Structure 1
């Protein structure tokens, strides 16, 4: 009888070890959320700095597009993680729902910022082309010439 108990004990111990391995893998996976949430918080701080931290400041759409692109990529990682680990890591439904809604808002704002950045780039290109056409390809001199180039040395000695 003791022989059977020792085999059962060994079997349960082995089963316990094998059952614990996936639990350890999942718990480390639960900690992965902290990584992308910390990154997300840093990106949101960058967005706040672009806006002047509450002061009235024009935001450069090119910089905003870059930060929002990173934020959307982070959100996609977060949504995938939530889909895979929400139940196992006991993430509240309210948090998952608000995270998903926040991700959709970030996608919308990314679209707006990147569209504005493309328009700014297009306007700058047109302005540069107009300036070159106005100069006739000759340069930017006041009288239509090539402008001031080269160096002028001051005479040496007494004036």
Structure 2
């Protein structure tokens, strides 16, 4: 899986967001985005560390992780939309966050599609194993049936 490439790109974007958050920490409510950004940073860190770990993340685990990252992005987008003016959030921050969120949605769609396909293939393999292996053909097909006569004459 290419989580490392996507995770690294997301980490760079999140890092730039974290650096710019101090600019709009005007009041107590303007600082609440810090929790969302920290959660996002932690999720991206998990994705990056999973790509370098000995035990690789399964497609299902990656789908769940990117689902959390997408939900975090939705929460952040709502907060930015509601507090952009009051907290003097720079347009570059809002646009960057939106672009990052769009990338995460695309990555999640691909990863969850792979997870669904893997789950389907595993279910098919289990079903074939329970049904006696699905036939004895050379390539897993039904195999040959009927009679085969030996040729007559000198061999």
Q: Which residue of 2 aligns with 1:111?
A: 109
Q: Which residue of 2 aligns with 1:37?
A: 37
1:48, 1:135 → 2: CA distance?
39
What residue ranges of structure 1 are gaps of 5+ in the alignment? 1-25, 137-159
Deviating beyond 2 angstroms after TM superposition, the runs of 4 or more aligned structure 1 residues are none
Q: Which residue of 2 aligns with 1:123?
A: 121
Q: Describe the superposition over 1:76-96 as per-residue Cα deviations: whole angstroms up to 9, x where unpaired.
A: 000001001112111111111
TM-score (norm 2): 0.65
Q: Give the C-alpha shift of residue 50 in structure 1.
A: 2.1
Q: 1:135 to 1:61 in 2, by over 3 A?
A: closer
Q: Which residue of 2 aligns with 1:132?
A: 130
Match of 1:68 among 50, 55, 66: 66
What residue ranges of structure 2 are gaps of 5+ in the alignment? 1-25, 135-155
The higher radius of gyration belongs to 1
Q: Which residue of 2 aligns with 1:50?
A: 50
Q: Give the C-alpha shift of residue 59 in structure 1.
A: 4.4
2:61, 2:31 → 1: CA distance?
31
Q: 1:135 to 1:104 in 2, by over 3 A?
A: closer
TM-score (norm 1): 0.63
Q: Relative contact order (alpha carbons < 8 A, sep ≥ 6): 1 or 2 greater?
A: 2
